[in-house]
Structure 1
Amino acid sequence: MTDNNSGNKQFNKLVTLLKELFQLDQPDLDFGLYRVMHARAEEISQFLDKDLLPQVKQAFSEYQTADKAEMEKELQELIASIEKADMDPEQSPKVQELRKKVAEQGVDIAGLENEVYDHLYSFFRRYYHEGDFLAKRVYKPGVYAIPYEGEEVKLHWANKDQYYIKTSEYLRDYTFTLKPGADDPMRVHFRLVDASEGEHGNVKAQEGKDRLFILVNEDFIAEEDGELVIRFEYRPATMDDWSEEAKAQATAAAAKKPPTQKNLRADAVRRVLAATDASLNPWLAELAKNHVKANGEQADYSRLAGHLERYTKRNTFDYFIHKDLGGFLRRELDIYIKNEVMHLDDIESESAPRVEQYLSKIKVIRQIAGKIIDFLAQLEDFQKKLWLKKKFVTETSWCIRLGCIPEEFYPEIVANDTQRKEWVDLHSINEIEEDLATVAYSEPLTTEFLKVNPTLMVDTLNFEEGFVQRLLEAISNIDEQIDGIIMHGENFQSLSDMQKRFQDAIHCIHIDPPYNTSSSGFLYKNNYQHSSWLTMMEDRCSSSMQLLKEEGVFVCHIDENEIERLHLLLESNGSINAGTMVWDKGAPVTGTHGIGTQHEYVLWRVKTPRIRLISAIS
């Protein structure tokens, strides 16, 4: 930042906030979107550090001749000179004239500039919080506004017009540099040894077995190809994960349970910084230095602890990507200016020069804010493109009934022990005994056994690629014979991939979403639990309805916690209410207060009112 603005408190506060918005306060992160941020960092920094202040000053330069501070200085000098001549300055016509000029025409340029910085800070701070932009149109008690276009009933929530993103996108690798911009930046990787069993890909951990980041027991740190790699596991913690040091520092009650993520983070920092390999000393020295906060202050914890906390937390909270951040912020800016900057009473009572100054301030706020919004929108739109980009299918396998497979493949199938074990686990074929119509189970299996069990399903996941290719080529018109598809993945992306092939083709969609209760709560950092849930449901329900045939039916289970909001959401998406089924669970779910929840609901929706519910069931 240049010296000429170093003393401007309001300006410095605004620039600090904007660097947080542009994520320039994290220059050491070196992966994913942060690489895009770094590519634009120079341009953004040029705007913040060199262009922003001169642009504001230039906008008010036309008032330099009427600068109140300069005019008052001139007045004091005049009074001093008159007093020096042993005359009464109050009797001087020139003093009176200059005082009148200061009162009527003087412009507090420094005050105008600070007002601009304060308004820009207030506006962007209001709509931004920890990485997300939220609608917060509350100006004072009793005065509020929501987007409304005359609908009879309007359902609105804080995260509307945003995409709900699961934390699973970031699980595997986290990279930062210890010396950003240097010839040897010293890149450090936090890397998961195996995330295949983790809570990712929309797979939920079992209740009471939340997965945590745990430093691996052996070979947890190494230098590879000139970069430092620190390895973690992502699994439920056990009592064995307590180290002696961590257990000694924990309370007696805490030590009787598996360690928390906080315990494991502190233990990981101790173990890494205590590594004895002398070749790692340069790395450890840098990691042990105090972490630097966004405001430039040094924290009372190490750089390693700061990054490890960020790594674990960013995989704890879900977040959002705005569908049209530029349009959203420009609309909100107009409302902010009209409600908080423009005061019609002031315009009516002020002189023409004052009104002109007033309008100049508004123009400057709008001009500068518009440039900032353009920068932010470009970054958010890039994230949106990444999220909406069709995802690659990472693995495909086929389940084919034995009766559809030519017998020439049977010898290879009976020789596959993995397939045999799968049938034992799923169907208990090892209990089949021989009789007049049945071939007995044996190890290995026989081709005769396969022939008399044509309904067994062969899973191509158990076979080599060459076998699978030959099998698919041997079965003619395989697409026409497929009577079911199972997709395992993030549900929004899966529904997007299905749109082209299955649009207007599905007879029935039956979903059982999270009920958004305490046991399936959304981990959004602002605790906008209902808002997060609605954002997640809106896009997925809309995509699902596009897949339905005209005579199709959409069925959704829910309980009392979200039934009203879900009903309004489906109604706002244009689906038609075909009825609601209520069923008695038998055993009520009791809470700490109130009546136990004993009923659940099945909401039925259709695309056309001509479809009767009974025809959908049949």
Structure 2
Amino acid sequence: MNFFDLIDAINRRNQTIRGLNINTKEKRFLDELESLFIGAEVDGDSGFVNLMRMKHAYFQSIRGALMQKIDVRAAPQTAFREELFDKLYTFFHRYFCESGSIYFRHLPAFSKTYERVYADGQDVALSWKTQMLYYVKSDVLVRSMPVELSEEGKPQNTRRFYFDASKVEHKKNNERRDFIFAFDEVKRKTTGKVIHLNVSYSQRGAKTKTDDILKQSRKDGVSLSGEQLQKAIGVFRRQTEADFFINKNARAFLREQFDLWMYQYIFSEATVFEQERIKQLQAIKDTAYDIIDFIAQFEDELRRAWEKPKFVRGVNYVVTPDKLPAMFCAR
């Protein structure tokens, strides 16, 4: 191989590596946008779960249109496309939480959520992170999940579980209800045997029948102790509790925050104000605004539904016979 062939080979390798980095950053942003915008995947059957499914379908419907606009502004396999997705990720990941709510997840120093309290000694700045939000509810995100318990240096003692919460209905009005667990089956996987347990809410004081689970597991070839079962159940119970909010004006909130972020980025970095660079910065802003508009369309629908007056559609009265005149009680 001569010198020029070597240079060509190095250039092709660098292009390949750069392409892999671009794809990685693009995938990272799109995955994060989907998971953070939609929120954590929740199993079960309720109005909230149906809402999450609608939100997921909405995101899939707008994803194609969004990618078409991005392809026009930043061609695939270019360095600017890599920067575009990196900047979008840097901004948006601060304002979404795993419940899908839009607010100050990571509060920036330049936000307008601070209130000054004047005292004789020293001024205090207070942050009001939920000022622009309607509070909906707090709940535990009940999700199907695998649990693996292992002992260091003892792979033969590893126990694998899968908690199936797909049939769990969401609680109403934040009522307190405990989980109960029931044996389903033992599945053979390449990694070993997995004990499947069904999860449901307790009714009429029902309790988990631990002895039945241990007995069924041994019958299917898995030696399981009560301590191991309780540890696995403890891991399942420690799921994330989340607050659910609706943003009163998601479009105005996110656009204001992006403008502040863009201002700080431009004047804190060593930006060269050439024509090509100005076009790139405008492309970043236009793309961010498009994403904000897509998000705000759905959030505005939620807000309108939340603010809609609740009308009384029917009233019925129950009156005992002793309150009625005798003429109405006559047979």
The SS at the match of 1:200 is coil
Which amino acid in 2 is paired with 1:145? Answer: S
Partner residue, 1:263: 233
Rg larger for: 1
Q: After the TM superposition, which of the residue ranges 357-366 and 116-125 deviates more from structure 2?
A: 357-366
Deviations, residues 582-607 of structure 1 (Å, cap 9, x unaligned): xxxxxxxxxxxxxxxxxxxxxxxxxx
| Alignment equivalent of 1:342, drawn from 266, 274, 277 | 266
C-alpha distance in 2 between matches for 1:120 and 1:409? 73
1:251 correspondence with 2:170 = no
Partner residue, 1:369: 288
| TM-score of the superposed pair, with normalisation by structure 1 | 0.34
For residues 30-49 of structure 1, the aligned pairs below 5 Å read 32-37=50-55, 39-49=57-67
The SS at the match of 2:135 is strand
The answer (yes or no) to whether the contact 1:137–1:145 under 8 Å persists in 2 is: no
For residues 361-400 of structure 1, the aligned pairs below 5 Å read 361-391=280-310, 398=317, 400=319
| TM-score of the superposed pair, with normalisation by structure 2 | 0.59
| Alignment equivalent of 1:190, drawn from 167, 170, 178 | 167
Deviations, residues 376-405 of structure 1 (Å, cap 9, x unaligned): 111222222333344576996646577642
* CA RMSD in angstroms, aligned pairs only: 5.0
| Alignment equivalent of 1:214, drawn from 177, 180, 202 | 180
| CA drift at 1:330 | 0.4
The SS at the match of 2:38 is coil
The answer (yes or no) to whether the contact 1:213–1:235 under 8 Å persists in 2 is: no
Q: Percent identity?
A: 23
C-alpha distance in 2 between matches for 1:191 and 1:28? 7
1:163 correspondence with 2:82 = no
| CA drift at 1:356 | 2.9
Deviations, residues 98-147 of structure 1 (Å, cap 9, x unaligned): xxxxxxxxxxx9444333221110100111121222225755xxx44324
Partner residue, 1:330: 255
The answer (yes or no) to whether the contact 1:216–1:233 under 8 Å persists in 2 is: no
| Alignment equivalent of 1:125, drawn from 83, 88, 93 | 93
Partner residue, 2:325: 406
| CA drift at 1:157 | 1.9
The SS at the match of 1:321 is strand
Partner residue, 1:449: none
C-alpha distance in 2 between matches for 1:359 and 1:332? 20
Higher relative contact order (CA 8 A, sep 6+): 2
Partner residue, 2:103: 134
CA separation of 1:33/1:138 partners in 2, compared to 1, >3 Å: closer, same or farther?
A: closer
Q: Note the residue ranges of structure 2 that are not aligned, 5 or more in a row.
A: 1-17, 119-123, 144-164, 185-197, 216-223
| CA drift at 1:243 | 4.3
For residues 475-494 of structure 1, the aligned pairs below 5 Å read none
For residues 193-592 of structure 1, the aligned pairs below 5 Å read 200-201=172-173, 204-205=175-176, 211-214=177-180, 232-235=200-203, 239=207, 241-245=209-213, 248-251=224-227, 263=233, 317-339=242-264, 341-343=265-267, 346=270, 350=272, 354-391=273-310, 398=317, 400=319, 404-407=323-326
| CA drift at 1:15 | 1.8
CA separation of 1:395/1:146 partners in 2, compared to 1, >3 Å: closer, same or farther?
A: same
The answer (yes or no) to whether the contact 1:162–1:321 under 8 Å persists in 2 is: yes
| Alignment equivalent of 1:146, drawn from 107, 112, 118 | 112
1:23 correspondence with 2:49 = no
| CA drift at 1:372 | 0.5
**How many residues are aligned here?**
263
